[in-house]
Copies of this chain bind each other. A is one copy, B any other.
Amino acid sequence: MPTQTVSDTARAAQIFQALSDETRLEIIAMLESGERCVCELQDSLDAAQSRLSFHLRVLKEAGIVTDRREGRWSYYELNREVFDDAEAILKDLRPRGRRGASRAGECCG
Question: Using Cβ atoms and an 8 Å threshold, which residues of chain B touch A77?
Answer: 95, 100
Interface residue? A48 (CB, 8 A): no
A37→B103 contact, CB < 8 A: yes
Task: Count residues of A near B (Cβ-Cβ below 8 Å).
Answer: 47
Is A46 close to B, CB under 8 A?
A: no
Q: Is the CB of B90 within 8 A of A34?
A: no
Contact residues in B for A17 (Cβ distance below 8 Å): 16-17, 20
Contact, CB under 8 Å: A101 / B13: no
B39 touches A25 (CB 8 A): no
The interface bits of chain A over 74-109 (1 if a CB of B lies within 8 angstroms of the residue's CB, else 0) are 010110100100110010011111011111100110
A94 and chain B: residue at smallest CB distance:
B83
With CB as the reference atom, state the residue of chain B lying closest to A78.
B95
